Amino acid sequence: MSGQTKPRQTFLPFSPPLLGEEEIIEMIETLRSDWITTGPRTKKFEGEFARLVGAQAALGLSSGTGALHTALAAMGIGQGDVVITTPMTFCSGVHVIEQVGATPLLVDIQRDTLNIDPFKIEENLRKTRDKKVKAILPVHFAGHPCDMDLIMDLAKRYQLFVLEDAAHAIPAKFNGRMIGAIGDLTAFSFYATKNMTTGEGGMLTGSRDLVEKARVYSLHGIDRDAWDRYSETGSWYYEVIASGFKYNMMDLQAAIGIHQMRKLPQFMDRRRQIVKIYHQAFSQLGEIEIPTEKTGVDHAWHLYILRLNLERLSLSRDQFIQELRGRNIGSSVHYVPIHLHPYYRNNYGFKPEDFPVVYEEYQRMISLPLYPKMTDEDAYDVVSAVCDIVKGFRR
Ligand SMILES: *Cc1c(COP(=O)(O)O)cnc(C)c1O
């Protein structure tokens, strides 16, 4: 099993996609079909995706970032408004709040799941009653769903929108409910490293009403109803009812997505098998901490994040990553917290300790390779490398 100590001969990349002949054939058919941008394949993908997560409606977009941006606009969030989110996220989830003219309010995370802390959200809501908090933007970090009962309850009591960032959480469940069918709108990403990919791409799910509003914003603010109204007299006519964006999904993207979605159950089986191998090997080591999966939750296992017990090791996280690389194992860190980036540090005057849990956990996190293309042997190579480093740098 993990007894092999010889390092890998070839580099194991951190997160390549797994694409097959089905995607390739559909892509070629799309290219030959004379309809390459938003059209029948996007419509089909939207319908199937909505059914998968149990949402009323879905909207295909050019990226997860575009999905988040469009969602905020569709919710009517803008100048003077405040949106609550987590500092443990990808930068674009906070950029879009500024890009609609609103202000992000960062709230620290829970240590176990690394998700935004609902109790700290409430503390902030009580403190900032005068501020115009309009929405909560939780991130289902690494694929572990946030406590959506607590978050939806807060939203109801304080009359807030909930926009979930589910870039990591396809497919995931909280208390039996699919992520994508809980909050007002949920944004998914199909970036190349995500659980399913379209190269670049995204999806918004939610109520028919909000999704149709988002559809208008996603394509120049053009009202399709106007098109329908006038189509008999001339299909050249359209009306612009908002200053919208250009975030529509192409059929070329949907061609890939349709097949990736069908393979999702197999992808998840494989992810869980690798997680099992990691859990079994690493739970015996006191120098590292394995990720948690709370009861009542179906984890999407987008990321497997190890946390180093630094006081028991004589190397830093950065050195650990170097040691992994030296053993031909790719790894990464998710994420450099928002408040440590120069842009946010300078504009909001953040100090590292402003979000103590995020700051502390950031310094000891490593994301290990976890993807359906990995073989058991690949996973055991990762196990050997990690165990070898731990043995060599025990304090
Ligand atoms: C990937 C990701 C995004 C952005 O998605 P894109 O499709 O790359 O625009 C946003 N938030 C989180 C948490 C992500 O992981």
Tell me how far the alpha carbon of residue 64 lies from the centroid of ligand 1, in angstroms. Answer: 5
What pLDDT does 223 receive? 87
What pLDDT does 228 receive? 61
Strands, E, within the chain: which ranges?
Answer: 57-61, 82-85, 103-106, 133-137, 161-165, 173-174, 177-178, 185-189, 202-206, 222-223, 239-240, 288-289, 297-298, 304-308, 365-368
Question: Cis bond leading into 171, ω under 30°?
Answer: yes
Residues 271 and 256 in one domain: no
Residues 66 and 164 in one domain: yes
Tell me how far the alpha carbon of residue 66 lies from the centroid of ligand 1, in angstroms. Answer: 9
Residue-wise pLDDT for 258-295, tens only, equals 999 999 999 999 999 999 999 999 999 999 999 999 99
Query: What distances in angstroms separate CA 44 from CA 59, 190, 369, one per listed residue?
Result: 11, 16, 32
Query: What distances in angstroms separate CA 79 from CA 98, 101, 102, 163, 285, one per listed residue?
Result: 9, 4, 5, 18, 50
16 located within any domain: no
Residues 228 and 108 in one domain: yes
Of 62, 72, 90, the one to substitute when testing ligand 1's pocket (max ligand atoms within 8 A of C-beta) is 90
What pLDDT does 229 receive? 60
Tell me how far the alpha carbon of residue 187 lies from the centroid of ligand 1, in angstroms. Answer: 9
Closest ligand 1 atom number to CA of residue 194:
1
Ligand 1, residues at Cβ distance < 6 Å:
63-65, 89-90, 92-93, 139, 165, 167-168, 189, 191, 202
Asked if 38 contacts 251 with a C-beta cutoff of 8 angstroms, the reply is: yes
What pLDDT does 389 receive? 98
Q: Residue 304, SS3?
A: strand
CATH number of the domain that 337 lies in?
3.90.1150.10
Residues 184 and 48 in one domain: yes
9 located within any domain: no
Residues 213 and 306 in one domain: no
Residues 181 and 306 in one domain: no
CA distance 324 to 310: 16
Domain boundary among 246, 261, 276: 261
Domain boundary among 245, 261, 277: 261
CA distance 145 to 165: 10
Asked if 134 contacts 82 with a C-beta cutoff of 8 angstroms, the reply is: yes
CATH number of the domain that 132 lies in?
3.40.640.10
Q: Tell the residue nearest (CA) to atom 5 of ligand 1.
A: 64
Name 3's Cβ contacts closer than 8 Å, sequence gap at least 6.
Answer: none
What pLDDT does 226 receive? 59
Residues 239 and 333 in one domain: no
167 located within any domain: yes
What pLDDT does 187 receive? 99
Range of the domain at 351: 264-392
CA 308 vs. chain centroid, Å, equals 23
Residues 66 and 200 in one domain: yes
- CB neighbours (10 Å) of residue 340? 18
What pLDDT does 384 receive? 97
Strands 304-308 and 288-289: antiparallel
Residue-wise pLDDT for 219-258, tens only, equals 999 987 655 665 565 577 889 999 999 999 999 999 999 9
238 located within any domain: yes
Query: What distances in angstroms separate CA 109 from CA 120, 139, 292, 304, 360, one per listed residue?
Result: 8, 10, 14, 18, 11
- 292 φ/ψ sector (left φ>0, alpha ψ -120 to 50, else beta): beta
352 located within any domain: yes
CA atoms within 13 A on the CB side of 340: 15
Tell me how far the alpha carbon of residue 165 lies from the centroid of ligand 1, in angstroms. Answer: 8
> Which residues of the chain fall short of a pLDDT of 70?
1-5, 130, 225-234
Domain boundary among 261, 287, 308: 261
Residues 308 and 248 in one domain: no
156 noted as active-site residue: no
Residues 84 and 219 in one domain: yes
Residues 40 and 91 in one domain: yes
247 located within any domain: yes
Number of domains in the chain: 2
Q: Tell the residue nearest (CA) to atom 2 of ligand 1.
A: 167
Name 145's Cβ contacts closer than 8 Å, sequence gap at least 6.
Answer: 115, 169, 172, 173, 174, 179, 297, 298, 299
128 located within any domain: yes
278 located within any domain: yes
Residues 85 and 222 in one domain: yes
Closest ligand 1 atom number to CA of residue 190:
7
